[in-house]
Amino acid sequence: MVQLPTVAASEVRCARIDTPLGDYELLDFGGGRRLERWGPWLVERPDVHATGAPRDANWSADWVFLRELGAGGHWEPTRSGLPSRWEASLGGERVHCRLGSDGRVGVEARDLLIGRWLRERIEGCYDLDEIRVLNLFAGNGYVSSQALAAGATVVHVDADAAMIELARSHCGDEQVEFVRENVMDYVEDLLRRQQRFDMIVLPVPPLGHGPRGQLWDREVDLPRLVRHLPRLVSDDCLGIWLSTDGGAITWKAESLGQLLREVLPGHTIEPLQLEVASVDGRVLPAGVAARWFDDTEFLQTGGQPLTAAQLEERLDAHMISIGAAEGPARALADHPRETQDFVLRCAAMVARTSSGMAFNFVAHVCGALRLMDEAGVEAWLLHCMDVYDTRGLHPAVAAFKEVEGFARSYRARQTGVAFEDVAGVLEAFVHGLNGRRLKLEAGEHPYTDSETIFLPPTLSRFEGRDANFQLYKAMVVHQWAQTWFGTWRLDVAAAVDRYADSERALACFHGLETLRLDACIERQLPGIHRQMRPLRAATDAGMDQRWRLAAAQLGRPGATVDDSLGLLDSVLDAPLPEPAAYQGVLRPQEVARVRKARIDADRQRFRMVLMKLKQELRPDEDAGAPESEQQEADGGLPFRLKKVEAQDSVDGFAFEIELDGRPVPAPGNVRSVMASILQDLGDIPEEYLHAAGDGAYFAGDTGERSAEDVWKGTYHEEGAFLYNEWDYERQNYRKNWAVVREMDVHPSYDHFVDRTLHKYRGLAMELRRTFEALRGEDRLLKKQPYGDDVDIDALVEALADARHGEEMSERLFTKLHKLERDIAVMFMVDMSGSTKGWINDAEREALALLCESLETLGDRYAIYGFSGMTRKRCEIYRVKRFDEPYDETVRARISGIRPRDYTRMGATIRHLGGLLNEVEARTRLLVTLSDGKPDDYDAYRGAYGIEDTRMALIEAKRSGIHPFCITIDTEARDYLSHMYGAVNYAVIDEVRKLPLKVSDIYRRLTS
Amino acid sequence: MTAQVLKPEEYFITEEPYYEPVGNEIEVFEAAWDNQLPVLLKGPTGCGKTRFMEHMAWRLKRPLITVSCHDDLTASDLVGRFLIRGGETVWVDGPLSRAVRAGGICYLDEIVEARKDTTVVIHPLADDRRVLPMEKLGELLEAGDDFCMAISYNPGYQSVLKDLKQSTRQRFVALEFDYPSPELEAKIIVRESGIEPPLAEQLVKFAQMTRNLKGSGLEEGASTRLLVHAAKLVKSGIDPVAACRSSIAQALTDDEEMLAAVNELSASVF
Ligand SMILES: Nc1ncnc2c1ncn2[C@@H]1O[C@H](COP(=O)(O)OP(=O)(O)O)[C@@H](O)[C@H]1O
Ligand SMILES: [Mg+2]
């Protein structure tokens, strides 16, 4: 799980209202009571925060609020004739003062702070059409009126009728909707209606009651309410204010902050201690709050660059330790605001994955910005994130530090060509050339080990992309030519070792070989030779006489590598010509190692394939039978090799295999081994047909495990599949991110299917009838213009018509119309923990009925369940494979489907989509049965999971699969249409209808 | 040449169709014909199967009736059906019946593409009964000694559905076709298109390259037919690389990357 940085107590700042403020003053407090002036009147009321002694012992309030046990309290005038409602001015605005039954008058300090923040956020913003504010536990209307004044529309929710009345008098009726409801119920209603807001204000009370007595208990309900917030905020949400009166130990500012961060990570969280200062400067606490907002919002500060301090404050939100961002913030302060915002945005994005990564990013970003444009910096960051995903933090930190190298190749890529971008074409190109299949890989210098060609990651030697691509191609051809025209049939390492200066000898040898190979290429691939010639212009221009002589000799058709070696002495002392641009280097030791391993393996493989061939050709002579010939007795094979002419081999000949003096057709694997041996040795030694001693030993495949090595040491990956996952924030895939494993559902032999069929016997029968009608049966079409048989009825009719002198119809035939169903369907069944109970039962029943229907239809189908926990444990449970019959075991597995953990849908779709694509069918359907959104224990929830799932579905669609989702999440419509497209899902509103509906939906889908 | 209407079973090929034997296929076919055995031609598209049949029809002096099978082709399409003419129902033979009556060669090209029920009518013809059941007429049509049935089939398609059933396969003498050897293929191209031999050799070399790519990006390499097409374009003055691009590369793949690679390959040959 991604570890979110916790909101620390040290981050808490104070937000204070200083009095006097207009007509309002906090005059004194202490002993559990406070004395204030609202306009002309003094009021005294209880306050738990008012600890210590008051400044003045004798207060002379006009109104005093007295608590009564169990019944709140009441206001007592100290004189007669006092008003209980009046108005006061608060620095320019009027507020209604009313003696509330809760002991409140006017507005609370908290309301003032909320009001200020709302105005600040909303007024600075002009790019949202209509800003909607949700004010929960809204109270007297002051906050709502502030939002209205700033230009927003407000939904004002409060349970108390009198409060709503008061608020209405504050705000009027324009642009505001007053809702008298229990907050919890109302919020759930909003979710159902998919309402979202640009700002949300929640000054939550410790306890409260809804209009019908529903209890609000902060300790229980607050976390629940906060968890709904992600689905209430709009995409450009300006902020959330969450506050509560202090007093409870559980609710400190930082714990409110933490609550918000957990559900809505990635934005700035500001924990606040609220307070009011009295006229004599003493501070009275007024509750705690946490604000959540995106402070990279450019408009909020009018485009002015942020100061180092502002930057640090913003960056701190993403750091593990306070103070870490100081240096980077200082450096960043010199950049224009756009750049600062870009960095802040990136930092927030990285912080979602790791705050350590975020730190490293900001630490190096200014350096990166000096070297590259923003697109480059972003590419660099994504590169580092990839490294982090696949190899962990330390290599990623190294990648951050290597920004210069990255910038160099980035710049090169702008003008030049990146290996990655052309690898596909080059690889196909080199596969088209003759000989052993060569792999291509990026490496520092161009060279080959005789199986892989290494090429520089980027080429920018020339101006245009095309010229650089041609250079790549020339490099590939040169390296290929070494393997095809026999450079490595010589033990080059040993040959040059005989020279005192073996390095120079190697360089000369390479020069000579290049001359020879280029001549070969000219003869065999004149087109490519023409393209390569300019790349060796410098070589040809300044060539010494001795080199020219050598070139003439090596240019002759029969020249071999031995001729190059023979000429080495003659050019050793002559000045070395400029190497050709595509020449690269020779690594004789590496070739020797790879080549030796291959020769050994080929020898073994050759014997293996011949042994198999023998068994095929003479099946009666099995292992125990007496050997007929002497050579077979000592392990030899009864084959002979015969040289035959072959134009497409480099030596002009190949081998045919003879058995008993007659040529036998060699299967593909035999031919390819022979070709490989021939390419290495120029011959197939006779001894290859004889015993090699350890005939049973086979040098099997090695390598090819890089994907699995990714997690080596931290996680056991044996037998797992790795899939990429889409990170919408990065707009990029996380490589090999989800680890998927297939396992069998544990069968449960309890006649569940039989019982289900019995339970729904009426329905089952009806389904069978409908599906039978759908089966790929012949239908006799009558009155066809042509067909297989005469339609006697039509004919009689037509003849009668003709008698009457009418025109005779030509539609006189019957025709058999074949409805061939060619459908393969994969059912993907949610086995997450949330399906526990009813839903699981319904799913299993649905499957039981469905299988019955599918068997009637004859469509090919498979059923897999899915669940798992975190990306490292995505589990896919086999219920029925495509090639499995619907038998007792499958029925027992259906019964054995049990709810498990979470739903990481993307990986499942990728895996099952792959399986589905292996099936040959005209139509491929992937049907998901689910109870809700993609969700996993780690960050795979909310938008991330939905977006990955959507991407997986898009991939599936591209590969020709039709995805469809059947769900019982009634709130599913908003995200389902986003994931599946508007018509590719069905929502079933009652669980018990699932078994009835699924077969029906399938029928409609496929007919 | 003026167009004239001929019924296929009455059409005898009089001029020798050019066919370059690759192995002993001519002898085998003749032997099969002598023994009234049906023949199965196996091999990738464009390697000369159709041309071979034309050649054999000429050689054996029999009419050739070719049916290209497709997925709507039913047994009635082969055997025949009733039609109404002037108020009367009349039976009209299908191509297979006509071939049997005329003692011709019936060549069912790409047999696996046809409906499964077509095999029902070819089986009795393909074994030693040599009869064609004409159910609608309630008749059995017995084949004469001259009648010959040949079917073709491309084993290259990876599909299980497109596989020939054993029961069908085992009734036929199988002839395996493949691309001719490089020398032969060049010779064929020269003969078919009239281009110079060196150019034909280069075309064959390029074809070899695309055949190397079979299974790693291409479903099939360039067939002899495509090479002949390219050669004809070259003969009419099109640059060889351009000719390969439009008549070969585009026919082989739609994939951008593969197209680029194939074009690079052709550019390297000429
Ligand atoms: N052995 C051959 N002799 C002469 N021409 C051939 C031969 N093989 C292929 N061809 C050429 O290839 C073209 C395509 O062959 P075709 O018989 O239509 O292929 P298939 O029927 O196997 O798909 C022919 O028109 C001809 O030009
Ligand atoms: Mg053909």
Spell out which residues of chain B touch residue A812, defining contact as CB-CB under 8 Å.
84
Q: Do A425 and B217 touch (CB under 8 A)?
A: no
Q: How many inter-chain contacts (A to B, CB under 8 Å) are there?
A: 83
**Average pLDDT, stretch A301-319?**
77
How far does Cα A718 stand from its chain's mean position? 23
**Average pLDDT, stretch A25-31?**
91
Pick the more confident residue, A464 or B264: B264
What is the number of the ligand 1 atom nearest to the C-alpha of B47? 22
Q: Which residues of A touch B (CB under 8 A)?
A: 424-429, 431-434, 437, 473, 477, 524-528, 531, 647-648, 786-790, 795, 799, 802, 808, 810, 812, 816, 818, 920
Spell out which residues of chain B touch residue A437, defining contact as CB-CB under 8 Å.
216
Q: What is the pLDDT of residue B75?
A: 84
What percent of chain A is predicted at pLDDT more than 70? 90
* DSSP character at residue B218: B
Pick the more confident residue, B246 or A263: B246
Q: What is the pLDDT of residue B265?
A: 95
Spell out which residues of chain A touch residue B260, defining contact as CB-CB under 8 Å.
425
Residue A714: is its pLDDT beyond 80?
A: no
**Average pLDDT, stretch A396-410?**
90
Q: Do B257 and A432 touch (CB under 8 A)?
A: no
Residue A513: is its pLDDT beyond 90?
A: yes
**Average pLDDT, stretch B66-73?**
84
A446 and A455 in contact (C-beta within 8 Å)?
yes
Q: Do B261 and A818 touch (CB under 8 A)?
A: no
Q: What is the pLDDT of residue A776?
A: 58
Q: What is the pLDDT of residue B155?
A: 75
Distance from CA of A927 to the nearest CA of B (A): 24
Instruction: Supply A724's token pair.
Output: 């990429």
Q: Do B76 and A428 touch (CB under 8 A)?
A: no
For chain A, say whether B253 makes contact (Cβ under 8 Å). no
pLDDT in tens, A525-551: 999 999 999 999 988 888 999 999 999
**Average pLDDT, stretch B204-209?**
94
Distance from CA of A523 to the nearest CA of B (A): 10
Our mutation pick for probing the ligand 1 site, out of B176, B225, B229, B248, counting the most ligand atoms within 8 A of Cβ, is B225
Cα of B189 to ligand 1 centre, how many Å? Answer: 10
Q: What is the pLDDT of residue A519?
A: 96
Query: Which of A58-62, B67-71, B197-201 shows the highest mean pLDDT?
Result: B197-201
Residue A147: is its pLDDT beyond 70?
A: yes
Nearest to A588 by CA among A684, A509, A514, A478: A509
Task: List the single range of A183-197, A476-490, A528-542, A825-839 with lowest mean pLDDT.
Answer: A825-839
Q: What is the pLDDT of residue A701?
A: 36
Q: What is the pLDDT of residue B4?
A: 64
Task: List the single range of A197-201, A331-335, A709-713, B106-110 with lowest mean pLDDT.
Answer: A709-713
- CB-based pocket (< 6 A), ligand 1: B 18-20, 22, 45-51, 180, 188, 192, 224-225, 228
pLDDT in tens, A668-696: 778 888 888 989 988 888 888 775 444 33
Q: Do B268 and A789 touch (CB under 8 A)?
A: no
Pick among A648, A808, A819, A917 to test the B interface (most B CBs inside 10 A) = A648
Query: Which of A450-464, A498-512, A647-661 shows the highest mean pLDDT?
Result: A498-512
pLDDT in tens, A871-928: 878 889 999 999 899 999 999 999 999 888 888 889 999 999 999 988 888 788 888 8
Tell me the residue length of chain A.
1007
Cα of B269 to ligand 1 centre, how many Å? Answer: 23
pLDDT in tens, A734-790: 888 888 888 888 888 888 888 888 888 888 887 777 777 666 556 677 788 777 788
**Average pLDDT, stretch A985-1002?**
76
pTM value is 0.53
The pLDDT mean for chain A works out to: 83
Q: Please tell me the distance from the alpha carbon of residue A713 to that of residue A696, in angstroms, as a whole number.
A: 33
Write the residue in B136, B161, B212 that is nearest to A431 by C-beta.
B212
Pairing of strands A789-790, A778-784: unpaired
* Residue B257 pLDDT grade (very low, low, confident, very high; cuts 50, 70, 90): confident
Residue A497: is its pLDDT beyond 80?
A: yes
Cα of B66 to ligand 1 centre, how many Å? Answer: 15
Cα of B109 to ligand 2 centre, how many Å? Answer: 7
Q: Please tell me the distance from the alpha carbon of residue A274 to that of residue A269, in angstroms, as a whole number.
A: 15
Q: Please tell me the distance from the alpha carbon of residue A968 to that of residue A416, in angstroms, as a whole number.
A: 53
Chain A residue nearest residue B92, CA to CA: A788
Q: Please tell me the distance from the alpha carbon of residue A68 to that of residue A49, in angstroms, as a whole number.
A: 19
3-state SS, residue B134: strand
Task: List the single range of A126-140, A324-338, A818-832, A931-945 with lowest mean pLDDT.
Answer: A931-945
**Average pLDDT, stretch A716-731?**
75
Distance from CA of B80 to the nearest CA of A (A): 9
Cα of first residue to Cα of last residue in chain A, in angstroms, is 44
* Residue A70 pLDDT grade (very low, low, confident, very high; cuts 50, 70, 90): low
Q: Do B268 and A477 touch (CB under 8 A)?
A: yes
Q: Give the ligand with the smallest distance to the CA of B16.
A: 1
Q: What is the pLDDT of residue A462?
A: 86
Cα of B178 to ligand 1 centre, how many Å? Answer: 10
CA distances from A838 to A96, A571, A749, A986, A994 (A): 54, 87, 20, 19, 10
Q: What is the DSSP string of A615-666?
A: HHH-TTS-TTSPPSSHHHHTT--SEEEEEEE-TTSTTSEEEEEEETTEEEPP
Vertex B130: Cα angle to B129 and B134 (nearest 5)? 105
Our mutation pick for probing the ligand 1 site, out of B188, B191, B195, counting the most ligand atoms within 8 A of Cβ, is B188
pLDDT in tens, A598-634: 998 888 888 888 887 777 777 665 444 444 444 444 4
A807 and A992 in contact (C-beta within 8 Å)?
no
Q: Please tell me the distance from the alpha carbon of residue A209 to that of residue A185, in angstroms, as a whole number.
A: 12
Pick among B77, B78, B79, B84 to test the A interface (most A CBs inside 10 A) = B84
Find the helix or strand (DSSP H, E) in which A283 lies.
strand A283-293
Residue A641: is its pLDDT beyond 90?
A: no
Nearest to A785 by CA among A809, A814, A807, A811: A811
A823 and A859 in contact (C-beta within 8 Å)?
yes
Q: Do B264 and A429 touch (CB under 8 A)?
A: yes
Spell out which residues of chain A touch residue B76, defining contact as CB-CB under 8 Å.
788
Q: What is the pLDDT of residue B219?
A: 78
pLDDT in tens, B182-199: 999 999 999 999 999 999
Q: The CATH number of B2-176 is which of 3.40.50.300, 3.40.50.720, 3.30.70.3270, 3.40.449.10? A: 3.40.50.300
Q: Do B81 and A531 touch (CB under 8 A)?
A: no
What percent of chain A is predicted at pLDDT more than 90? 27
